[in-house]
Amino acid sequence: MLRQHLVDNTVKRFRSQTANLLTIINLGLGGFAIIYALQGQFNHSVLFICVAAIFDRFDGMVARKLNITSEFGKQLDSLCDLISFGVAPVLLLYQSTLSDFGFAGAMFTIIFIACGAVRLARFNVTEQEGFFVGLPITAAGCILTVSHLVSGWMPEQTLMFLIIILSLLMISNFQMKKM
């Protein structure tokens, strides 16, 4: 009887942390993306960010499906998203292109990260049912990541323009339906 109780508690505990585990995997993938970007292995960095986006999509779905949503999970998700979709994509672009612009490239990098942090903080302290306010950082980070793949076919300054546009969209007040 005691053994079954211990097994049941272990299964319950594991089940309750499933979404958080997916969120931590998202963070780990974002960390790998940063490391590979710093090493100049940009295609690997792109791959890690894209896979992080898949895990980010599933963590919320799993939490809702298993009815294990929590304030802790929401906060953890935002912190991990800042790394995987704020820092990693813009650092990828900084290492591959923006560093050529010196201080301006660094400033655009910091602006994107700061706007992503503001957007996530605002998301965590407001209640929106069925819609997002501003562009989600996951979307902004994925757009930046994909822009790296086509950056060879456009003027380098276009990336700085894209960063500013995405930064402003993240902190804007427009509403976007949740999918």
- Can you give the CATH number for the domain in which 154 is found? 1.20.120.1760
Tell me: pLDDT of 110 over 60. yes
User: Who contacts 122 (Cβ-Cβ below 8 Å, separation ≥6)?
Assistant: 133, 134, 171
Q: Which residues of 51-74 are buried (b: 16+ CB within 10 A; e: fewer)?
A: bbbebbebbbebbeeeeeeeeebe
Integer Cα distance of 18 and 13 in angstroms: 9
Mean pLDDT of 83-89: 98
CB 91 within 8 A of CB 37: yes
Question: Domain of 59?
Answer: 2-177
Q: Specify the pTM.
A: 0.89
Tally of structural domains, the chain: 1
pLDDT digits (tens, 9 = 90+) for 111-151: 999 999 999 999 888 877 777 789 999 999 999 999 999 98
- Confidence tier at 6 by pLDDT (50, 70, 90): low
pLDDT of residue 16: 67
CB 133 within 8 A of CB 78: no
